[in-house]
Amino acid sequence: MQHSSNTILFAFALTLFAGLSTGIGSALAFYTKQTNKKFLSGALGFSAGVMIYVSFIEIFPKANESLQAVLGVSQGLWATTIAFFGGIALIALIDKFVPSYENPHEIHDLTDVNELKDLAETEGYEVPKKSIAEDRELMRMGIFSALAIAIHNFPEGMATFMSALEDPALGISIAIAIAIHNIPEGVAVSVPIYFATGSKKKAFKYSFLSGLSEPLGAIAAYFVLMRYSSDLMFGIVFAAVAGIMVYISLDELLPTAEKYGEHHIAIYGLIAGMAVMAFSLVMLA
């Protein structure tokens, strides 16, 4: 399956955009006075809606079509189903080996962060370190969060890249959805490092670097998967991508959306994401 250099570069650019959005989360932690929790809840629900809808309506059927062309109807469907749940198992396994204390899915409340920041300025010093925890423990938490996010982002980078190669419009939707979900992960990295060191620059650097694993995933997909590109490989990878995206949506995005806001706001965001994705696919058909 041949792709033009422009398509490949575009896929890389989308993956880079999605990965580096962790830096947006870092900036939000430092430069916003108050978290608009309802907006963030709706945005995360929207992201989940996009990813779930596109996984079941677009990616899974394309994977199944590709595998059935090689293996036949029955075996192709079996292969698609196994690859789909294989993708879920892969990302769940990654999740399992990340301790809950350092897990980036443990949400930091930006409102609390800014209250502490204001208190620090009132008292005349940079950061109220000891009011949170020992500096060393906070630094450890931030670094492990960065490593955990980097591990999570690697398969997401592969998913974004492969999707954009097959369908650039589809790649844009997935990149935006993943970028939205990377924002709170950037917060999870930068907040503990900031309060451990008092350095916004250092906190932003770790947050930024954690997002670089996403384009690294794209590079791995290009040099490893593209070398063995075939309908069989494409079908297996695409089905696994669908599984990864569904797991991320159900395990990360929706619970985080509910934690930030009200249940119905998250659900309305979910439905809106599905609707926007549905109409965009119809318009581009």
Which residues are CB-contacts of 36 (< 8 A; sequence separation ≥ 6)? Answer: none
Position 85 scores a pLDDT of: 98
Is 22 within 8 Å of 98 (Cβ atoms)?
A: no
Global pTM reads 0.72
How many helices (H) and strands (E) in the chain?
13, 0
What amino acid is encoded at 221 in this protein? A
Tokens 């309908």 identify what position? 231
CA distance 232 to 148: 31
How many CA atoms lie less than 13 Å away from 242 in the CB half-sphere?
A: 23
Q: Are 266 and 41 in contact (CB under 8 A)?
A: yes
Q: What is the total residue count of the chain?
A: 285
Residues 6 or more apart whose Cβ sits within 8 Å of residue 227: none
Task: Pull the structure tokens for residue 223.
Answer: 């040099």
**Neighbouring residues of 194: CB distance < 8 A, sequence distance ≥ 6:** 29, 30, 127, 200, 202, 203
- The domain of 54 spans 5-284
d(CA 120, CA 112): 12
What is the distance between the alpha carbons of residues 85 and 82, in angstroms, rounded to a whole number?
5
Q: How far is Cα 39 from Cα 265, in angstroms, rounded to an integer?
A: 9
**pLDDT per position in the chain (285 positions), as tens?**
567 888 899 999 999 999 888 888 777 766 655 556 787 788 888 888 988 998 999 889 999 999 999 999 999 999 999 999 999 998 888 877 765 544 554 454 444 445 544 544 444 444 444 444 456 666 776 677 777 778 778 888 888 898 888 888 888 888 888 888 788 778 777 777 777 777 888 888 888 888 898 999 999 888 877 777 788 988 998 899 899 889 988 988 888 888 776 788 989 999 998 998 888 878 766
The domain tally of the chain equals 1
Q: Which of 56, 68, 64 is nearest to 80 (CA)?
A: 64
